[in-house]
Amino acid sequence: MLELTILIPLLAGGVIMFFPVTLGRKIMIATGLIHLLLTLTAVAGKATPCASKYFTTTPEGLLILLVTSFIFFFISIYASSYMEEVEISSEPTYLGCTMFFLASMSMVALADHIVVLWIAIEATTLMSAPLIFLHRSKTALEATWKYVMICSVGIALALLGCFLIVLSMDLGGVDVPITFSSLAQVAEQLDPIWLKAGFIFLIIGYGTKMGLAPMHTWLPDAHSEAPSPASALLSGALLNCAFLGVYRGHQLLYQAGLGEFSGNILIGFGLLSMLIAAIFIFDQTGYKRMLAYSSIENMGIIAFGVGIGGLATY
């Protein structure tokens, strides 16, 4: 069952907070290994979703899931030794939220329903925010609030984008489930004006979480204040999940014959992100902030590449 990649870390996160921290670290590593094995099973095509109305396997989703699972497994091994050397005041909170974070990112990778994808990306914000505040300093509190407020506003705009896509279905006389796989089959019947408007809100909303400039301002502070294992998850996994939301919207417009419109927007945001990251990275002294701006540049490169297009894009 494909949904086990979501349920297992979710259940592990619910119980891990009540175990001694030494045992909790072992549970985290074991969960990471099980998740990786389940992911490899899904990639091999031997796992199918039970709730097919909401979840599905796509090449891009499985790629994000595999990258997330691979990164999480090795970060969990590193985090175990990291927490022995670095004092964390709320280690059970870290362990539990990390499990919830993995579950929400897995949900993003597998989501096919537009609203389920939105819920999953919003859940990644709520599950990762406590990881930024673990050191409980004034700067950590500021970074956490900035992360929650900016990303929540962005996610709210993405929800409006979802509503506009549904409106394009209504005006186009389309009556199908609001899943990306169903909409792909009737994309040319959707109202183009509201579909374009929906994509604009999607890229602003999910692009905020992805770290595209100029909506990137939360990212350097959040990465610099989070513990190193959590910062690695934010860079290596979370941003990819947010990009998946943008990519699914771009795919829908391409299938509707509007790929040039969404592609030009992606190229613009990509070039701007690369430019801003290249300018600000020179003034950074902390290596975490340098890596944060490097992540912004990487997301800009990805957006630029998808905007240009090619066989691998669609």
User: Looking at residue 290, what is its pLDDT?
Assistant: 86
User: Looking at residue 310, what is its pLDDT?
Assistant: 57
User: Looking at residue 71, what is its pLDDT?
Assistant: 95
User: Looking at residue 311, what is its pLDDT?
Assistant: 46
Tokens of 179: 């899943």
Find where tokens 């899931």 sit: 65
**How many other CB atoms are found less than 10 A from the CB of residue 100?**
23
Distance, in Å, from the CA atom of 314 to the CA atom of 309, rounded to the nearest integer, reads 8
Q: Where are the domains of the chain?
A: 1-110, 137-313
**How many other CB atoms are found less than 10 A from the CB of residue 74?**
14
Cα→Cα distances 69→48, 135, 304, Å: 18, 26, 26
Instruction: Report how far Cα 12 is from the mean position of its chain's Cα atoms.
Output: 21
Tokens of 52: 């097919």
- Mention every residue, 6+ apart, whose C-beta is less than 8 A from residue 90: 130, 134, 136
Distance, in Å, from the CA atom of 93 to the CA atom of 309, rounded to the nearest integer, reads 42
Kindly report the backbone phi and psi dihedral angles of residue 152, in degrees, each rounded to the nearest multiple of 5, phi listed first. -70, -40
Distance, in Å, from the CA atom of 188 to the CA atom of 218, rounded to the nearest integer, reads 37
Cα→Cα distances 104→8, 14, 43, 112, Å: 11, 13, 19, 14
Per-residue pLDDT of the chain (314 residues; tens, 9 = 90+): 788 999 999 999 989 888 888 898 999 999 999 999 999 999 998 888 888 899 999 999 999 999 999 999 999 999 888 887 777 777 888 899 999 999 999 999 999 999 999 999 999 999 999 999 887 888 889 999 999 999 999 999 999 999 999 999 999 999 999 999 999 999 999 999 999 999 999 999 999 999 998 998 899 989 888 888 888 898 888 999 999 999 999 999 999 999 999 999 999 999 999 999 999 888 777 788 888 888 999 999 999 999 998 544 55
Q: Are 259 and 250 in contact (CB under 8 A)?
A: yes
Distance, in Å, from the CA atom of 28 to the CA atom of 99, rounded to the nearest integer, reads 7
Considering only CA atoms, which of 245, 252, 246, 247 is closest in space to residue 192? 252
Tokens of 226: 């989070």
pTM of the model: 0.93
**How many other CB atoms are found less than 10 A from the CB of residue 106?**
32
- Rounded (10°) CA dihedral 159, 232, 3, 206: 10
Q: Are 126 and 96 in contact (CB under 8 A)?
A: no
Q: Are 88 and 24 in contact (CB under 8 A)?
A: no
